[in-house]
Structure 1
Amino acid sequence: MANTAENTHRTGTIERKTAETGIAITVDLDGTGTYDVSTGIGFLDHMVEQFSKHSLIDIAMKVEGDLHVDQHHTTEDSAIALGQAIAEALGDKAGIGRYGSAYSPMDETLSRVALDISGRPYVVWKAGFTQEKLGEWDTELIEHWFHSVAQTAGITLHIELIYGTNNHHICESIYKGFARAMRIAVERDPRKGGAIPSTKGQLGG
C-alpha cells in the first residue's frame, strides 16, 4: 500500500506473469531519476530511461517477453505494468499537483504534452512517424505504449507533435515532455496540506 506522508517515498511494485510476458517493475515517485531497465527492446529501454531521468521517478523494470513472435506483447504489457505501479505509488493522490504540461524541444523538433492525473484515462495523440522502426522497435507501438500507461495509471493525456522531421528526435521529444509533465503532476504541493485535488473529494469515477 502506498504511503503519501510527507516524509516517506511513494513506491509501487507490480509483478505480472502471463503466457506472453513476465514482468517485474518498481517505481519511486520521490526518487532522483535512477533506472535499471531491461525489456529486450533497445529503443524502448532508451525511452523508459529518458522518462525516468527527466521525471525523477526511479524505475526498475525487468521484462521477459515473446519477442520471437513480435514486440507487441512486450511493449503493451510493460506499459500496463508501469501504469499500474505508478497508480499504486500515487495511492489516493492526496496532495499532488495533478496537472502537468511541457513543451519539449529537441533540435528541429517541438512537441507538447499536457496531462491530468484524473483517474479517468483518455489519450489524444496527434503525432506520427515516417519510418517503420526506430532501432528494432516498431514505431506503430509508440502510441500504443502511451495508451496502455494512461489506461492503467488513470491519466488524461494529450500529446501533440507541433513540428519535426527526425523520427528519433520526435519520439525522444515526446517521452521527455511526458516525463517533465509527470514530474510536475506527481509532486506533492505543501500548500494543499494532503488534500485530494478535486472538489469531489476523490479522483476517478
Structure 2
Amino acid sequence: MRTGRIERNTEETRILVEVNLDGTGAYDVSTGIGFLDHMVEQVSRHSLINVTMQVTGDLHVDQHHTTEDSALALGQALAQALGDKGGIARYGAAYSPMDETLARVALDISGRPYLVWRAGFTQEKLGEWDTELIEHWFHSVAQTAGLTLHIELLYGQNNHHICESIYKGFARALRTAVEVDPRKGGMVPSTKGQLGG
C-alpha cells in the first residue's frame, strides 16, 4: 500500500496526517477551521486518496500557522506515499465546473515545487477562513509534495463556488497523476531516471 504518515509538532501547531493513495476517498479531518476541513474533505473524496488530518493550532493568534502547517504536512505525507514515484502517471489535469464557475488545474509530480496561481476572491473570508490563505495552502502543499502546480480561475462570481471548484479540480488532477500505469512496469516516469532536481 502506498501510504504516508507525518507527525509535526511545534510551538504553534500539533499535526497528524495520514494518506493512502490507493484508498476510496475516506476522510477524517479536523483542523479547527470549518471551511478548511470542508476543502480537505473535497480533496480526499474526489482524489480517492484516504486522508486523516488532525490539527490543534494556535487559532487564538490567527489561522495562518494552522493553514500552512497542515498543508506542509499533507504534502510531506503525499511525498512519502509516492516513494520513488515508480510507475505513476505523473501528470494530471482537470476542468472543474461548479454552477457559474469554471476552474482549471494542471499538475506535474516533478519533484520541482512551483505554483502558478491565477485566481482570486472578492470576500475576505469563507466561513471563518481567511481567503488570502487559500493560495498559501496550495503553495505549501506544492512545496513539500514536490508539485509543479498551475491553478486558474477561468471565470466565476460566487466565492464559495470558486474555492470549491479549485479544490475539486486539484483533487481530480492529483488522482490522475498518482495512479499507477501498469504499462510503465514500475519505471520512474522521467528520462533522467529520477524526478526532482
Pick the TM interval, shorter chain.
over 0.9
> Residue 90 of structure 2 aligns to which amino acid in structure 1?
R
The answer as to 2:188 corresponding to 1:201 is: no
- Which residue in 2 is equivalent to 1:28? 20
Runs of 4+ in 1 over 4 A off after TM superposition: none
Q: Work out which of the residue numbers 144, 151, 154 in structure 1 matches 2:146.
A: 154
Question: Distance in 2 between the 1:128 and 1:97 partners?
Answer: 30
| Deviation (angstroms), 1:154 | 0.1
Gaps of 5+ in 2: none
| Deviation (angstroms), 1:62 | 0.2
Identity %: 83
The answer as to 2:80 corresponding to 1:93 is: no
Question: Distance in 2 between the 1:133 and 1:89 partners?
Answer: 33
- The TM-score with structure 1 as length reference comes to 0.96
> Residue 123 of structure 2 aligns to which amino acid in structure 1?
Q
Gaps of 5+ in 1: 1-8
Question: Distance in 2 between the 1:38 and 1:145 partners?
Answer: 16
Q: Work out which of the residue numbers 53, 67, 71 in structure 1 matches 2:63.
A: 71
**Equivalent residues in 2 for 1:53-202 (5 A)?**
53-202=45-194
Secondary structure at 2:74's aligned position in 1?
Answer: helix
| Deviation (angstroms), 1:185 | 0.1
- Which residue in 2 is equivalent to 1:18? 10
| Deviation (angstroms), 1:129 | 0.1
CA deviations on 1:151-184 (whole Å, 9 max, x unpaired) are 0000000000000000000000000000000000
> Residue 78 of structure 1 aligns to which amino acid in structure 2?
S
Question: Distance in 1 between the 2:52 and 2:154 partners?
Answer: 32
- The TM-score with structure 2 as length reference comes to 1.00
| Deviation (angstroms), 1:54 | 0.1
Q: CA RMSD in A?
A: 0.2
Q: Tell me the number of residue pairs that the alignment of Structure 1 and Structure 2 aligns.
A: 197
> Residue 82 of structure 1 aligns to which amino acid in structure 2?
L
- Which residue in 2 is equivalent to 1:3? none
